[in-house]
């Protein structure tokens, strides 16, 4: 089965003007952002695999405004830049699907984040989802911390009111400390 590379490559080339050869600084900056996983929120290995698959493909890679040779050059240099930075560090946190909400919904609230869910979204570059979908009663964001703990951020107030609950079944003291350290978001113990 062929790896579905197109969506990943579209993300990588979206903000680039690939009518002309990208300079080295731009390639290095994209590689750094992939590894940091702040703007590119999927695993860096997925982007690397997609770029490699695209380069091995006979299909056109460039969008309608892009130059095919320039786009292939950019991706090849990006793959080399990522290879030079390997092995890639584990990101401080990753998003788990909302399917995990059924597991965490009854977990105790161990802390409160004194921000709105919109402020948290901007800080983490991750998006809350409605649970149940379409009802809007509760908005949740499920994270797996690099320390192994899983947390749910639950917002049930209006969008402009601060106060998001941090729920977990893991040890509350170490999870609250890890959450603050890994996300850079201050919390108020529950």
pLDDT digit string, tens, across residues 50-60: 999 999 999 99
Ranges of residues in the chain whose predicted pLDDT is under 70: 1-3, 134-136, 159
Residue 103 to residues 60, 97, 143, 181, Cα–Cα distance (Å): 43, 11, 13, 24
Query: What confidence score (pLDDT) does residue 4 get?
Result: 87
Query: In the chain, what is the greatest distance between 2 CA atoms, to the nearest angstrom?
Result: 56
- The closest of 160, 74, 173, 165 to 116, measured between CA atoms, is 160
134/47 Cα distance (integer angstroms): 31
Tell me what pLDDT residue 111 has. 97
Report pTM: 0.71
- pLDDT number for residue 100: 84
**What pLDDT does 166 receive?**
97
pLDDT score, position 135: 67
3-state secondary structure of 173: helix
The domain spans of the chain are 6-85, 93-189
For residues 29 and 186, what is the distance between their CA atoms, to the nearest angstrom?
28
């Amino acid at each position: 089965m062929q790896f579905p590379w197109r969506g990943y490559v579209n993300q990588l080339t979206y903000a680039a003007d690939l009518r002309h050869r990208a300079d080295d600084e731009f390639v290095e900056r994209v590689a750094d952002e992939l590894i940091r996983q702040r703007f590119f929120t999927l695993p860096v290995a997925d982007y690397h695999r997609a770029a490699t698959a695209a380069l091995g493909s006979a299909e056109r890679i460039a969008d309608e405004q892009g130059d095919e040779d320039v786009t292939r050059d950019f991706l090849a240099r990006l793959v080399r830049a990522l290879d030079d930075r390997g092995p890639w560090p584990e990101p401080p946190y990753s998003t788990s699907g909302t399917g995990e909400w059924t597991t965490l919904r009854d977990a105790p609230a161990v802390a409160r984040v004194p921000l709105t869910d919109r402020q948290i979204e901007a800080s983490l570059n991750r998006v809350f989802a409605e649970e149940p979908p379409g009802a809007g009663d509760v908005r949740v964001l499920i994270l797996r911390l690099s320390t192994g703990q899983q947390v749910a951020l639950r917002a049930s107030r209006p969008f402009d009111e601060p106060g998001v609950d941090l729920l977990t079944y893991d040890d509350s003291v170490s999870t609250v400390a890890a959450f603050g350290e890994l996300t850079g978001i201050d919390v108020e113990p529950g």
